[in-house]
Chain A
Amino acid sequence: MTKIIEPSKQSSIFRRPSSETGIWSWITTVDHKKIGIMYGYAAFFFLLIGGLEALILRIQLSQPDNNFLTAAEYNAMFTMHGTTMIFLAIMPISAAFFNYLLPLQIGARDVAFPRLNALSFWIFIFGGAFLYSTFIFGTAGAPEGGYLAEEVGWLGSAPNGGWFGYQPNAGMKYSPGTAMDYWAIGLQILGVASLISAFNFITTIINMRTEGMRFMRMPVFTWMTFAVSFLLAFSLPIIAIALFYVTFDRKFGTTFFLTEGGGDPILWQHLFWLFGHPEVYILILPAFGIVSEVLPTFSRKPLFGYAAIVFAGFGIAFIGFGVWAHHMFASAISPVAQAGFGLSTMVIAVPTGVKIFNWLGTIWGGKLKLNTPMLFSLGFIGMFVIGGLSGVTHSIVPADTQQTDTYYVVAHFHYVLFGGALFGIFSGLYYWFPKVWGKMYNESLGKIHFWLMMIGFNLTFGPMHWLGLQGQVRRTWVYAEETNLQFWNIIVTVGAFIIALSIIVFMVNWIFSKRNGEKAPFDPWDARTLEWTIPSPTPVWNFSTAPIVKSLDDFWHTKYSEDEDGRAVRREETDQMLLELEEDGLNPSEHIALPNPSYFPIVLASGLPFLGYAVIYKSIPLALIGTVLLLVGGFGWGTEPLEEEIHLDSDE
């Protein structure tokens, strides 16, 4: 029987929250699993919004000289599409995986700082809400020499300077109004959230590993989380400072990026891409990690070249800081710099290629089980290779100057971030679905989802290569009929709607299976990592007793031995062992103290949007409200112990 000790309800400023179900249990939770689930749903919500924006863009481009959107609205839509997908969809979905899986994979009971974890989630929510409040409060006036104010409209009242906010276009002169301020400060707030979770995860991985979980025994997904956290920790400060400068330029009249005041617009590009390129790896490395878990499991073989994959991941993360200027070959940088960054761009393809060959080596000769997660992982390899190869073509500077700002580039990064990151994420969503919900998803619907998405994806982004090489410019809101670009544009739009359909199939599957799916066994895939040694859905306390790890893929080795040909043979005692594991997992034999829920993370986080509004509208009252919320949150946090003192009663 379960013996979780009820926390004694001491009070700090407020009464300590104690709900275990219902909305308050979610708002005050510090449990990494609940936070992970909330991250997942919130990010998926934003993924839908970002997808809707993409569909609006595609409707506009399905006809030559279309007037579905004005230029102003189109600018706002592509800016919000990019910003949403990167900062509010892919990054937080990765964070959902990190949160849920990281402690499980290293055998811990929670992350190092559970309340900071809740804080970063709430900051992310408030940051996303703040950014999207631009549609209600924001204004985007008519730029000097640009479109007319009456063409802006409601949709156009959003940030419109592109997701990389190039200066001086995103400055006050060419982007008047407050919309770009919402963008700059919104990203600032979201950056704080990611930064906090980054050092939380780094500390967790270094210091919360269970006994025997040496670094070189950690699952690859954990390794990639580690690499991503370092990338976040070292790249976000750069963009944070750059965004400070933007806000100072726009609100307080400085000229950091304005040539007329002695500033330097190219400095913005350097700072932005010094963050922006590591950001690309922040988006893709989690998918690398997921795929490295899925492929061995469904090939029934160990991961080929574990150490190579780990070091290649860190190689990518390290070199990722030295390639940023390949985004700027068309800007004013010297030929020497162009050559240097062209070379480093070629070099970074090497560790990436190492990984591809490792994955191929893993499935080579394996007994493949083509379940939905495996299909998505295989799709990931194929699509990512296409995106990777078109990426290497950009390292040839003369070719790149031809392709810059055309649909070729759009095709490239969607193959990497959709065909790569998102396929990997879907693979992971299906793979860990049974662990999170304790139910099985519907396999046929899953496969329909995969094939629809595969077809829709290639119809959408494949033809963009040709459109780009034929000269269709990125971010154009119309094209003339005489350009003969219409045919492929229609195909692209059809493809985009097929993707939308596949997402609907996914949602139906998710909702239906979560309610009525078959009950999942705790190790449905015959997997290798620690999260499969505990019951599904994961109990609140994760592990009843701390697991002790003796080797890489420890769980697999306890289930299987090898015959003389090196083939896996299931041990006789395995079935009995699994039964015992589930029994133990559900019935901890000792008292377990868990961190108590807390109000203060959400209180503290709610102060930040007020400070943001205060800067935009230069309002002292709003600044005071924000500061008070920060102080109340901080004071309550500081005076409230993480765990209430527990009086251990003897077992009856």
Chain B
Amino acid sequence: MSNSHSYPHEPTGVETRKLGMWVFLSTEILFFGTLITTFMIFKGSDFPGMKLTDVYDIPFTSISSFILLMSSLTMVLAHNALEANDQEKTRVWLLATAMLGAVFLAGQIYEFTEFYHKGFELTTNIFSSSFYVLTGFHGLHVFVGVVLLLALWAIGQRQKGLTLEGGMNLEFVALYWHFVDIVWIVLFTVVYLI
């Protein structure tokens, strides 16, 4: 006689939590979509005060973008290490990913303060408002991601170590992290390059 665990689950073969994360990310696209659309509308408008070209430091932002993209690589390495069941390496790469994310965040804070000192405040004009709300919203996502990575790293310190199943698992966080990185590629293009 079977026990309760045979109760049918997952006819799609995708783990339920992972599926939930995919659905969540699909709503995130709409969040960022709305923000980007608004930004694009106001980017072209005549705004008094500072212009974007006055304050942008493209080389600096390119470097911090590169750092964030590299964190996706370390995330994949962490995943690979876990698949090979190398707990030690998994933790190292997780920590590396979190650190790269933190460096990116520090860069963003530095950039915001720089802009602020150059007179580019939240309420300076409609462009600065859209800029700070859009990039700030992304920064908040990176922050949440760093917290999740550190939590995962802390869980990995325990006796049992990390697994690819169960509660807060690595794949779940990795999906989120890659998504946040991909969004940044779009933002970097839309906000700084176009």
Given the complex, which residues of B lie within 8 Å of A638, measured CB to CB? 151, 167-168
Interface residues of B in 72-131 (CB under 8 A from A): 122-123, 125-126, 129-130
Q: What's the nearest-Cβ distance from chain A to residue B39, in Å?
A: 11
Contact between A590 and B19, CB atoms less than 8 A apart = no
Flag B18-50 by CB within 8 Å of A: 1 or 0 each: 011001101110110111001001100111100
Closest to A214 in B: B11
Contact between A593 and B129, CB atoms less than 8 A apart = no
Q: A112 interface residue, CB < 8 Å from B?
A: yes
Flag A564-594 by CB within 8 Å of B: 1 or 0 each: 0000000000000000000000000111110
Q: What's the nearest-Cβ distance from chain A to residue B71, in Å?
A: 22
Number of interface residues of A (CB under 8 A): 49
Given the complex, which residues of B lie within 8 Å of A213, measured CB to CB? 11
Question: Can you offer 28 A-B residue contacts whose CB atoms are under 8 A?
Answer: A113-B16, A113-B20, A198-B27, A203-B20, A209-B11, A210-B8, A234-B30, A236-B27, A237-B30, A237-B31, A237-B33, A240-B31, A241-B31, A245-B133, A253-B123, A254-B122, A254-B123, A256-B38, A262-B48, A267-B41, A546-B8, A589-B1, A590-B4, A591-B4, A638-B151, A638-B167, A641-B167, A642-B167
A241 CA to B29 CA, complexed, in Å: 12
Name 4 extra pairs, CB < 8 A, besides A207-B16, A233-B27, A248-B129. Answer: A237-B33, A271-B34, A638-B151, A641-B167
A133 CA to B130 CA, complexed, in Å: 31
Q: B2 interface residue, CB < 8 Å from A?
A: yes
Q: B194 interface residue, CB < 8 Å from A?
A: no
Contact between A199 and B35, CB atoms less than 8 A apart = no
Flag A154-197 by CB within 8 Å of B: 1 or 0 each: 00000000000000000000000000000000000000000100
Q: What's the nearest-Cβ distance from chain B to residue A194, in Å?
A: 11
Given the complex, which residues of B lie within 8 Å of A244, measured CB to CB? 133
Given the complex, which residues of B lie within 8 Å of A253, measured CB to CB? 122-123
Given the complex, which residues of A lie within 8 Å of B168, measured CB to CB? 638
Contact between A238 and B34, CB atoms less than 8 A apart = yes
A639 CA to B24 CA, complexed, in Å: 22
Q: A623 interface residue, CB < 8 Å from B?
A: no
Q: B160 interface residue, CB < 8 Å from A?
A: no
Contact between B123 and A206, CB atoms less than 8 A apart = no
Closest to A638 in B: B168
A417 CA to B70 CA, complexed, in Å: 51
Q: Given A238-B30, A256-B126, is A245 in contact with B38 using a C-beta cutoff of 8 Å? A: yes
Contact between B31 and A203, CB atoms less than 8 A apart = no
Contact between B16 and A112, CB atoms less than 8 A apart = yes
Given the complex, which residues of B lie within 8 Å of A206, measured CB to CB? 12, 19
> Which applies to chain B's interface (DSSP): helix, strand, loop or mixed?
helix
Q: A208 interface residue, CB < 8 Å from B?
A: yes
Contact partner of B3 (CB less than 8 A), chosen from A233, A236, A590, is A590
A4 CA to B99 CA, complexed, in Å: 46
| Ranked 10 nearest A-B pairs via Cβ | A237-B30, A254-B129, A262-B126, A241-B34, A199-B23, A237-B31, A203-B20, A253-B123, A233-B27, A593-B4
Given the complex, which residues of A lie within 8 Å of B6, measured CB to CB? 546
Q: Given A248-B129, A262-B46, A271-B34, is A207 in contact with B8 using a C-beta cutoff of 8 Å? A: no
Q: A399 interface residue, CB < 8 Å from B?
A: no
A262 CA to B45 CA, complexed, in Å: 8
Q: What's the nearest-Cβ distance from chain A to residue B30, in Å?
A: 4
Flag A239-251 by CB within 8 Å of B: 1 or 0 each: 0111011001000
Given the complex, which residues of A lie within 8 Å of B7, measured CB to CB? 109, 546
Given the complex, which residues of A lie within 8 Å of B151, measured CB to CB? 638
Q: B54 interface residue, CB < 8 Å from A?
A: no
Q: What's the nearest-Cβ distance from chain A to residue B48, in Å?
A: 8
Flag A635-649 by CB within 8 Å of B: 1 or 0 each: 000100110000010
Q: A22 interface residue, CB < 8 Å from B?
A: no
Interface residues of A in 245-292 (CB under 8 A from B): 245, 248, 252-256, 261-264, 267, 271
Contact between B34 and A242, CB atoms less than 8 A apart = yes
Q: What's the nearest-Cβ distance from chain A to residue B51, in Å?
A: 13
Given the complex, which residues of A lie within 8 Å of B42, measured CB to CB? 262-264
A262 CA to B3 CA, complexed, in Å: 65
Q: What's the nearest-Cβ distance from chain A to residue B47, in Å?
A: 5
A611 CA to B37 CA, complexed, in Å: 27
Given the complex, which residues of A lie within 8 Å of B26, measured CB to CB? 233-234
Q: What's the nearest-Cβ distance from chain B to residue A639, in Å?
A: 9
Closest to B125 in A: A262
A113 CA to B20 CA, complexed, in Å: 9
Contact partner of A211 (CB less than 8 A), chosen from B8, B130, B167, is B8
A546 CA to B38 CA, complexed, in Å: 49
Contact between B23 and A255, CB atoms less than 8 A apart = no
Given the complex, which residues of A lie within 8 Å of B47, measured CB to CB? 262
Given the complex, which residues of A lie within 8 Å of B19, measured CB to CB? 112, 203, 206-207
A199 CA to B20 CA, complexed, in Å: 6
Given the complex, which residues of A lie within 8 Å of B30, measured CB to CB? 233-235, 237-238
Contact between A112 and B20, CB atoms less than 8 A apart = yes
Contact between A207 and B10, CB atoms less than 8 A apart = yes
Residue among B1, B14, B123 with the highest chain A CB neighbour number at 10 A: B123
A615 CA to B59 CA, complexed, in Å: 35
Interface residues of A in 97-153 (CB under 8 A from B): 109, 112-113
A113 CA to B3 CA, complexed, in Å: 21
Q: A200 interface residue, CB < 8 Å from B?
A: yes
A195 CA to B25 CA, complexed, in Å: 12
